[in-house]
C-alpha cells in the first residue's frame, strides 16, 4: 500500500536559518505529492504540490522537488521566520483522480525561535 515517511520533530530552528524537512514515499504508479501546513488550532492548508517527476512546487518561499529516483519530496526554505512555526504534513494521492483520498505522513512540528 501507499505510505509517507517524514521526520516527526519537533524541529527547532532560529529565525533566518535554512530549513529542510525530509519526506519519502512508497506508492505504486505515479502519485501526486503535496505539502500541507497546519497552524495552531486550525485546519490544513495546501502549501505546495507537484504532479509529476522533476516538478518543483513552490509557495511563500518554500520549495519541494518531486524526485522519482529517490522517491522523495523534501521541503526546503532558505530563511525561516517565526510565523513559519506550524505542523507540516507531506502527503500523496494517486494520479488516477484521488478518489481514495490522501495518504499523509505523521507531520513535522516546526518551531522557529526569534
Partner 1 sequence: SQTIHQWPATLVQPVGSPLSLECTVEGTSNPNLYWYRQAAGRGLQLLFYSVGIGQISSEVPQNLSASRPQDRQFILSSKKLLLSDSGFYLCAWTWTATGYGYTFGSGTRLTVV
Q: Does the protein bind partner 1 through residue 32 (CB under 8 A)?
A: yes
What sign for the dihedral angle of Cα 57, 62, 67, 68? negative
Using the rule CB under 8 A, which residue among 34, 62, 73, 88 binds partner 1? 34
52 vs 79, which CB is nearer to partner 1? 52
Confirm if 68 and 24 have CB atoms less than 8 A apart.
Answer: no
Q: How many CB atoms lie within 10 A of CB 38?
A: 16
Query: Cell for 37?
Result: 501546513
Site residues (CB under 8 A) for partner 1, limited to 56-95: 89, 93, 95
Q: Does the protein bind partner 1 through residue 112 (CB under 8 A)?
A: no
Q: Does the protein bind partner 1 through residue 42 (CB under 8 A)?
A: yes
CA dihedral 81, 83, 87, 92 (to 10 degrees): -80
- Interface residues with partner 1 (CB under 8 A) are 32, 34, 36, 42-46, 49, 51, 89, 93, 95-107
Amino acid at each position: 500500500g501507499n505510505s509517507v515517511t517524514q521526520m516527526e520533530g519537533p524541529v527547532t530552528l532560529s529565525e533566518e536559518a535554512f530549513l529542510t524537512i525530509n519526506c519519502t514515499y512508497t506508492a505504486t504508479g505515479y502519485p501526486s505529492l503535496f505539502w500541507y501546513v497546519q497552524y495552531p488550532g486550525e485546519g490544513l492548508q495546501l502549501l505546495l504540490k507537484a504532479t509529476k517527476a522533476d516538478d518543483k512546487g513552490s509557495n511563500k518561499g518554500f520549495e519541494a522537488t518531486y524526485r522519482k529516483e529517490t522517491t522523495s519530496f523534501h521541503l526546503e526554505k532558505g530563511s525561516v521566520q517565526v510565523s513559519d512555526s506550524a505542523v507540516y504534513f507531506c502527503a500523496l494521492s494517486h494520479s488516477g483522480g484521488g478518489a481514495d483520498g490522501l495518504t499523509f505522513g505523521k507531520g513535522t512540528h516546526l518551531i522557529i525561535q526569534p
